[in-house]
Amino acid sequence: MREIIFDTETTGLDNREDRIIEFGGIELVNRFPTGRTFHVYINPQGRSVHPEALAVHGISDAQLADKPVFSAIADELVAFLDGAHLVAHNANFDIGFLNAEFGRLGIGPVDPGQVIDTLAIARRKHPMGPNSLDALCRRYGIDNNHRVKHGALLDSELLAEVYIELIGGKQAALGLEVEIQVDAANGDGDIAVVIVQRERPLAPRLSAAEAEAHRALVDTIGGDAIWRQVDQAYLDASTP
């Protein structure tokens, strides 16, 4: 399964007038980063950064003056997002801005069925909160000391680690498959962990010589050796 963990920074809070000035996203496949990212600063085309927004992300009008406008990066962004589940913290905010930018260019909106809101998942898992990204990093022991101000790519990297913890942690890599059913109405994800059976057992790691050496060692311990309680059939089955 392909997922894009992403974040945006904007000139303000109103997607009808304010604009996206930074997009950062990282790609996960089967819950592991692939190394593929998309990060860009965007010229807001005459819309000034609101002072309160500047205090949050520190991106000034002067820094954006020579950056590409949204229409110049839209095709590459759409290609990066295409076919993936889109994962964001307080996703309604980020998706609202993406859809506003896409709408100005005649591009269709994001499919709400593809959106996963980690804030909604966190609120269900930790109803007493707090559930900000910083708070979740502290809860799960994720180092965010280098996060002085908000930045789209850095926040995406942190969110990727938080997301894995929210859906069950790293045990997904040990043979568990995590399925997320997305509520198209609000982007909330219902989490179900499904044990996946291997089609064929793994090849045995115990050689015949190792098994025989183990038996010989047990014989020297005596009749009360706890290893004699091990089903001999297990040792036999483990031998190639």
Q: State the sign of the Cα–Cα–Cα–Cα dihedral 128, 130, 131, 137.
A: negative
Same domain, 150 and 213: no
Q: How far apart are CA 89 and CA 119, in angstroms?
A: 5
> Residue 32: beta bridge partners?
29
Q: Is the pLDDT of residue 230 over 80?
A: no
Q: Is residue 103 part of a domain?
A: yes
Q: Is residue 108 part of a domain?
A: yes
Segment 38-42 mean pLDDT? 97
Whether the predicted model's global pTM rises above the 0.85 cut: no
Active-site annotation, residues: 150
Q: Is residue 203 part of a domain?
A: no
Segment 204-224 mean pLDDT? 76
* C-beta separation of 131 from 90 below 8 A: no
Total number of domains constituting the chain: 2
Same domain, 212 and 161: no
Q: Is residue 19 part of a domain?
A: yes
Residue 229: its pLDDT value, please? 62
Same domain, 61 and 180: yes
Residue 105: its pLDDT value, please? 98
Residue 8 phi/psi, 5-degree rounding, is: -125, 155
Same domain, 222 and 131: no
Residue 182: its pLDDT value, please? 52
Which of the four pLDDT bands, split at 50, 70 and 90, describes residue 15? Answer: very high
Same domain, 76 and 112: yes
Same domain, 73 and 172: yes
Hey, is 55 helix, strand or coil?
A: helix
Residue 201: its pLDDT value, please? 61
Same domain, 233 and 124: no
Give 46-94 pLDDT, tens digit per residue. Answer: 999 999 999 999 999 999 999 999 999 999 999 999 999 999 999 999 9
Residue 121: its pLDDT value, please? 96
Q: Is residue 184 part of a domain?
A: yes
Residue 215: its pLDDT value, please? 78
CATH number at 104 reads 3.30.420.10
Same domain, 158 and 105: yes
Q: Is the pLDDT of residue 19 over 70?
A: yes
Which residues, including other chains, have CB under 8 Å from residue 141's CB and lie 6 or more apart?
A: none
> Residue 38: beta bridge partners?
25
The domain in which residue 216 lies consists of 208-238
Same domain, 13 and 79: yes
DSSP secondary-structure letter at 185? T
Same domain, 221 and 174: no
Give 120-173 pLDDT, tens digit per residue. Answer: 999 999 999 999 999 999 999 998 776 655 688 889 999 999 999 999 866 444
Q: Is residue 201 part of a domain?
A: no
Same domain, 158 and 179: yes
Same domain, 61 and 107: yes
Q: Is residue 41 part of a domain?
A: yes
b/e code 48-77 from CB counts within 10 Å (16+ = b): ebeeebbeebebeeeebeebeebeebbeeb
Mean pLDDT of all residues belonging to the chain: 84
CA distances from 175 to 161, 167, 178 (A): 19, 14, 10
Give 175-203 pLDDT, tens digit per residue. Answer: 444 455 555 445 455 544 444 555 666 66
